[in-house]
Amino acid sequence: MMELSCAEFAEKLSGSSPVPGGGSAAGVAGALAAALGAMAANLSYGKRSTAEHWGEIDSLRASLLGAIERCEKLAERDAEAFLPLSRAYGLKAATEEERQEKRQTLEKALLAAAAVPMELLERCSEAAEDLLKLSRLATKLSLSDVGCGAALCEAAARCALYNVLANTRLMTDSGAAGELSNRACSLFRDCRERCKEVADGMEEVFNG
């Protein structure tokens, strides 16, 4: 999927196939968020005005470059995780034995499908922390890129949250579903708070 051009990916998203869908789009958004942060780090590293922070900027750059790769893989995995779920919905349920087997298969598929956006939420939370730190160290010329990265990061996290909840609400194990949902909401709140701090800093710079 990641070898597609932007136009090709958008065309696939707009088609009648359920994959790629919102989960894959969230992964791409997360990768773009991290990429903007990495670019800002590259633009800031080596500049005289940031000399005392080169070590931290370089560390943040490495972390964000890793986040790009991880989010890209999650975009691919989201589409892959949908296929077992789709097959599970298509299982026969004429007899009680078939219905029980279908329920069990669906539960496993829903859990697996929720695991991918949950991991993306974790990656977004980490990237948001990197972007927040970078927003305090980057050159003024690259601050808008950090801000755009944070905005995309929050959007990716929100989409991932929706995809977790879309699966957990259908699970029959209410305990496991509740635990996953609560974890997802907590991760999203953390990400949103960090991204808001970046946004608030942007407003101070631009309106100051």
Query: How confident is the prediction for the chain on average, in pLDDT?
Result: 94
Structural domain total, the chain: 1
H-helix or E-strand containing 145? helix 143-168
- Distance in angstroms (rounded) separating the CA atoms of residues 14 and 6: 12
Assess contact for 25 and 159: CB atoms under 8 A.
yes
63 domain-assigned: yes
9 domain-assigned: no
The predicted pLDDT at position 79 comes to 85
21 in helix, strand or coil? coil
Give me the CATH number covering residue 77. 1.20.120.680
How large is the average pLDDT for residues 16-28?
A: 91
The predicted pLDDT at position 146 comes to 97
1 domain-assigned: no
pTM reported for the whole predicted model: 0.92
pLDDT at residue 104 tops 80? yes
Helices (H), the chain: 6-13, 22-44, 54-89, 96-135, 143-168, 174-207
- Distance in angstroms (rounded) separating the CA atoms of residues 160 and 122: 10
Single-letter amino acid, residue 49:
S
Q: How many residues belong to the chain?
A: 208
Which residue in the block uniquely carries the two structure tokens 């909401």? 185
The answer to whether the Cα torsion of 158, 159, 160, 163 is positive or negative is: positive
92-121 as b/e, with b when 16 or more CB fall inside 10 Å? eeeeeeeeeebeebbbebbbbbbebbbbbb
- Distance in angstroms (rounded) separating the CA atoms of residues 27 and 208: 34
- Distance in angstroms (rounded) separating the CA atoms of residues 34 and 102: 39
144 domain-assigned: yes
15 domain-assigned: no
The predicted pLDDT at position 175 comes to 95
User: For the segment 39-65, what is each residue's pLDDT rounded down to a tens digit?
Assistant: 999 999 999 999 999 999 999 999 999
202 domain-assigned: yes
Which residue in the block uniquely carries the two structure tokens 């496991």? 176
Stretch among 95-104, 106-115, 125-134, 170-179 having the lowest mean pLDDT:
95-104
pLDDT at residue 130 tops 90? yes
pLDDT at residue 1 tops 80? no
How large is the average pLDDT for residues 97-115?
A: 91
pLDDT class of 180 with cuts at 50, 70, 90? very high
**Which domain range does residue 126 map to?**
20-207
The predicted pLDDT at position 205 comes to 85
